[in-house]
């Protein structure tokens, strides 16, 4: 294959991404270079809040706050056309919509995979330059490949590789063609990196992922996650009026088998999602475990349209908005929902990001534009074309809300990637408190590189830092106000339909916002 031939490159924050074919990072002027910023210096430390003592008055963090706190951006406001969301992890609790390949993935698209759900621009199969230097040549035998290296240790490993190939060719129970061996080598390389967000995707995986970007697909209408410790797959939520809901599937159901194949045999969430998704009208049989009992359910796949936004008023002054994922198509429904809450009298808002797997970084930035003045949102550090870089994003002047509006953000262990970016930014700027449980902990960005045959590699390409300088990768965000998880008796009820009496996090969020208003002296209408 010609090394100089271009390949398709997509980046994400979580697990969805935009169609970014043909995007050249070297020509993109929307991502400016920012000055070097300090590494994370302490968990969950953000800028001074404007409210009274308590969760609203966060300890001053080590990093400066406010717009351009880390120096000006030579390009002005950077747009995330180069950054993408996090995408779903190969062996993690990274939620993905069944029937789509999530992912994350701040991370967490044409949005960086934070997932996702994070990202960088572009195209580029690389420059064709090799890190190998002229030196010892190790022949891999019948494959006709040679490895050139002057590194003694690399020479030893190259010889080991040649021995492994020869052993498999001569002794594996079936004949392996050179193409099969080479493909396996590539897949193994991608899946053996030290980042769990770097992995190989088949052509089918890539296609399924792309179909999910716009939020409509053919499947059962459910979100699934894989527990990092137990490796069990479980349903996180179901789409209203979708096949999963109609069949009686509920949040918390553990997936035991799909069409008779044990769930444990699936390598990752993507593979499992691919098995569940399928043509509209076709059937899939699932075996789930609920309360220790095995239940067999047959579902008919249908066209599923995901509703990204659900809103309502909780009382005369507190609005509620659930964001199910940071889709590429989120901004218009978000602005509509926000406008409705403002017209209904909302002075503060509860954002429900529980079970939100992330999505597009671009989507996060557009949403934050409506909530913040011009402020530093995030700093990313990564590598592009073999060179390190540091870049910053800032919000724009599009704010829809008054300056004194405050937010309580509901989070849990399935709040990942782009959800964490959204939550961390608003908290760091003293605008929000987090209520619930510790978040997933995806502070890195990934890009999906599509090969000539349609397969792809999801590659971790950067870490992102909140305005405080905090890196949440592997740590997550700790809540300011801990709250109990949803009682199993109410897990079948969609989050946005739960009453405060049945939702400890929602109850505490409302009380926090009301206390803030009271301590701040209330409203002063003249």
Looking at every residue in the chain, the average pLDDT score rounds to 75
Q: Quick check: 52 pLDDT over 70?
A: no
Output the pLDDT for position 354: 96
Q: Please tell me whether the overall predicted TM-score, pTM, comes out greater than 0.75 for this model.
A: no
Average pLDDT over residues 50-77: 36
- Check residues 277 and 131 and name the one with the higher pLDDT: 277
3-39: per-residue pLDDT in tens?
332 233 334 454 323 223 333 333 332 322 332 333 3
Question: How many other C-beta atoms can be found within 10 angstroms of the C-beta atom of residue 433?
Answer: 26
- Distance between CA atoms of 224 and 208, rounded to whole angstroms? 15
Is residue 249 predicted with pLDDT exceeding 60? yes
Highest mean pLDDT among 95-104, 202-211, 266-275, 302-311 belongs to: 302-311
Domain with CATH 2.30.42.10 in the chain: 216-305
> Can you give the C-alpha Rg of the chain in angstroms?
24
Give the architecture (CATH level 2) of 216-305. Answer: Roll (2.30)
Residue 240 burial (CB count, 10 A): 14
Query: Of the candidates 428, 410, 407, 364, which has an alpha carbon nearest to the alpha carbon of residue 14?
Result: 364
Q: How confident is the model at residue 206 (pLDDT cuts 50, 70, 90)?
A: confident
The correct CATH number of 1-91+100-130+197-202+306-521 out of 3.40.50.10860, 3.90.226.10, 3.40.50.1010, 3.40.50.300 is 3.90.226.10
For the ranges 143-147, 243-247, 282-286, which has the lowest average pLDDT?
A: 143-147
Q: Give pLDDT, residue 91.
A: 29
Burial of residue 506, with CB atoms counted within 10 A of its CB: 0-12 exposed, 13-18 middle, 19 or more buried: buried
Q: Report how far residue 76's alpha carbon sits from residue 393's, in angstroms, rounded to the nearest whole number.
A: 9
Q: Is the pLDDT of residue 405 over 70?
A: yes
Query: What's the pLDDT score for residue 277?
Result: 85
Dihedral, CA of residue 271, residue 275, residue 278 and residue 282, to nearest 10? 180
At 253 the pLDDT is: 93
Q: Quick one: average pLDDT of 42-63?
A: 41
Residue range(s) occupied by CATH 3.90.226.10 in the chain = 1-91+100-130+197-202+306-521
CA distances from 225 to 211, 230, 235, 375, 508 (A): 19, 11, 6, 33, 26
Predicted confidence at residue 71, as pLDDT, reads: 27
Buried b (16+ CB within 10 A) or exposed e, 281-310: eeebebbbbbeeeeeebebebbebebebbb
Distance (Å, whole) CA 121 – CA 313: 39
Percentage of residues of the chain with pLDDT beyond 70? 70
Condensed to tens digits (0 to 9), the pLDDT of residues 423-432 reads: 999 999 999 9
The pLDDT of 367-373, averaged and rounded, is: 96
């Amino acid at each position: 294959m010609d090394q100089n031939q271009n390949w398709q490159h997509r980046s994400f924050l979580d697990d969805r991404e935009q169609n970014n074919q043909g995007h050249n990072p070297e020509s993109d002027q929307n991502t400016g270079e920012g000055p070097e910023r300090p590494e994370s210096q302490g968990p969950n430390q953000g800028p001074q809040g404007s409210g009274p003592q308590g969760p609203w008055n966060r300890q001053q963090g080590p990093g400066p706050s406010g717009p351009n706190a880390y120096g000006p951006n030579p390009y002005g406001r950077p747009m995330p056309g180069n950054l993408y969301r996090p995408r779903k992890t190969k062996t993690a609790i990274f939620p993905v919509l069944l029937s789509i390949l999530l992912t994350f993935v701040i991370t967490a698209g044409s949005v960086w995979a934070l997932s996702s759900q994070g990202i960088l621009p572009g195209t580029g199969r690389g420059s064709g330059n090799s890190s190998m230097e002229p030196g010892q040549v190790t022949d891999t035998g019948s494959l006709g490949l040679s490895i050139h290296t002057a590194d003694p240790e690399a020479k030893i490993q190259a010889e080991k590789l040649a021995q492994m190939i020869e052993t498999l060719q001569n002794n594996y129970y079936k004949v392996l063609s050179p193409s099969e061996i080479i493909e396996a080598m590539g897949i193994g390389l991608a899946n053996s990196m030290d980042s769990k967000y770097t992995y190989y995707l088949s052509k089918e995986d890539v296609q399924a992922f792309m179909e999910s970007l716009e939020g409509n697909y053919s499947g059962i209408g459910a979100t699934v996650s894989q527990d990092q410790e137990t490796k069990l797959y479980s349903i996180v939520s179901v789409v209203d009026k979708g096949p999963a809901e109609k069949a009686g599937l509920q949040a918390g159901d553990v997936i035991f088998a799909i069409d008779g194949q044990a769930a444990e045999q699936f390598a990752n969430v993507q593979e499992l999602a691919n098995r569940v998704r399928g043509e509209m009208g076709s059937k899939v049989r699932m075996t789930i475990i609920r309360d220790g009992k095995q239940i067999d359910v047959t579902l008919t796949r249908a066209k599923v349209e995901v509703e990204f936004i659900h809103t309502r008023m909780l009382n005369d002054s507190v609005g509620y908005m659930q964001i199910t994922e940071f889709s590429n198509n989120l901004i218009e429904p978000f602005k509509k929902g926000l406008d409705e809450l403002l017209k209904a009298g909302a002075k503060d808002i509860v954002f429900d990001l529980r079970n939100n797997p992330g999505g597009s970084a671009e989507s996060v930035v557009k949403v934050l534009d409506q909530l913040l003045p011009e402020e530093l949102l995030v700093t990313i550090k990564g590598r592009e074309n073999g060179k390190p870089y540091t870049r910053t994003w800032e919000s724009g002047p599009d704010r829809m809300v008054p300056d004194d509006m405050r937010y309580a953000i509901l989070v849990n262990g399935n709040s990942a990637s782009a959800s964490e970016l959204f939550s961390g930014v608003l908290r760091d700027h003293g605008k929000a408190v987090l209520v619930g449980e510790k978040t997933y902990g995806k502070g890195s960005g990934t890009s999906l590189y599509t090969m000539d045959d349609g397969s792809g590699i999801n590659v971790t390409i950067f870490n992102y830092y909140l305005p405080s300088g905090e890196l949440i990768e592997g740590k997550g965000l700790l809540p300011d106000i801990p709250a109990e998880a949803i009682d199993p008796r109410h897990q079948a009820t969609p989050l946005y339909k739960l009453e405060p009496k049945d939702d400890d996090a929602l109850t505490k969020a409302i009380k926090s916002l009301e206390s803030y208003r009271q301590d701040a002296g209330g409203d002063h209408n003249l």
